[in-house]
Amino acid sequence: MPELYILLPVHNRRATTSRFLACLKAQTYQDYHLLLIDDGSTDGTAELARELIPALTVLRGSGDWWWAGSLQQGIEWLGQREIAAEDVVLMINDDVTFGPHFLKHAVMLLQTMPRTLLLAQAVSKQTGLPLVSGVEADLKKWQFRPAESADRINCLTTNGLFVRWGDLRQIGGFHPRLLPHYNADYEFTLRAHQKGFHLRVSPELRLVWDEKTTGFHRFEQMPFTAFLRQYFSKKSLGNPLYHSTFVLLASPRPLIPRHLVKIWLGAMLAVGRRALSRHESR
């Protein structure tokens, strides 16, 4: 069985990370090394991890790595070691929980799938329903929708993503300066698909994901200046700046101008509607 390296970005969520670490400690597959990528935590998250997990390395940032930067730090750390090509890398959030056989099943399943990125199926902690994981990206129309069948998946998230180290080296890492947080996973997996790797989602691998713990998704009942600040934040799913860099990295080149216009028209409409509602409410 290969060794498993777990890349776990964390930032000031000690209680959330603690639940993840409890799941990790209970695993029947213990041939893993946890790489805790602590991006500026001040709440004792790393100290807690050291108490619970013996096979642990902590990488410390100052709070500006975000998701893609944290994963890239982990990949660069692995690149400086003698990691076997068949060893497995897991990229995962700390706001998920999973059963005791999760790692064992994943590693065994991946061994049957050459040149494959394998994603666990996430279900919502709030509703118990499966969350969108396998995505079909239409790069001509710049539309992203749930894939209707496994063979139509060309895009994945990276929460619970297993990949062989040798395959990861062929795919390449992330672009944290251009895509520090959202869309970094889509760009990475689209690139992998374009290089001929298979993307699969396994219902046998189940994660329970707390959707309320991350990101800015809703902006109702918010002052206009606060709306602008959050809308253009790195934590905003709708930030048009990073959607634009995503287009520049992933779109077919002839279609880049069309997609950029679409993104910025949508952003102008969103800001305009909020400004108008602010004026009318006075």
Would you say residue 26 lies in a domain? yes
Rounded to the nearest integer, the mean pLDDT of the chain is 92
Q: For residue 216, is pLDDT > 50?
A: no
Asked if residue 153 lies in contact with residue 201, where contact means CB atoms within 8 angstroms, the answer is yes
Give the predicted TM-score (pTM) of the model.
0.92
Judge if 14 and 103 occupy the same domain: yes
- Give the residue among 120, 109, 206 at the shortest CA–CA distance from 158: 120
- Give the residue among 71, 80, 85 at the shortest CA–CA distance from 37: 71
Give the end-to-end CA distance of the chain in Å, rounded to a whole number: 65
**What kind and span of H or E run contains 282?**
none
Q: For residue 41, is pLDDT > 90?
A: yes
Domain residues for 58? 4-213
Give the residue from 213, 236, 267 where a domain finishes: 213
Give the residue from 213, 237, 260 where a domain finishes: 213
Distance (Å, whole) CA 235 – CA 170 = 29
**What kind and span of H or E run contains 96?**
strand 96-97
Asked if residue 181 lies in contact with residue 234, where contact means CB atoms within 8 angstroms, the answer is yes
- Mean pLDDT for 109-118 is 97
Q: For residue 23, is pLDDT > 50?
A: yes
Judge if 116 and 245 occupy the same domain: no
Choose between 252 and 231: higher pLDDT.
252
Asked if residue 164 lies in contact with residue 88, where contact means CB atoms within 8 angstroms, the answer is yes
Distance (Å, whole) CA 78 – CA 270 = 42
* Confidence tier at 273 by pLDDT (50, 70, 90): confident
DSSP state of 131: P
Residue 261: both structure tokens together: 């216009």
Judge if 206 and 260 occupy the same domain: no
* Residue type (1 letter), 197: F
Write down the pLDDT at residue 17: 96
Residue 108: both structure tokens together: 């065994």
Write down the pLDDT at residue 203: 93
Distance (Å, whole) CA 8 – CA 43 = 16
Write down the pLDDT at residue 88: 98
Q: For residue 148, is pLDDT > 90?
A: yes
Distance (Å, whole) CA 271 – CA 227 = 9
Give the residue from 213, 236, 256 where a domain finishes: 213
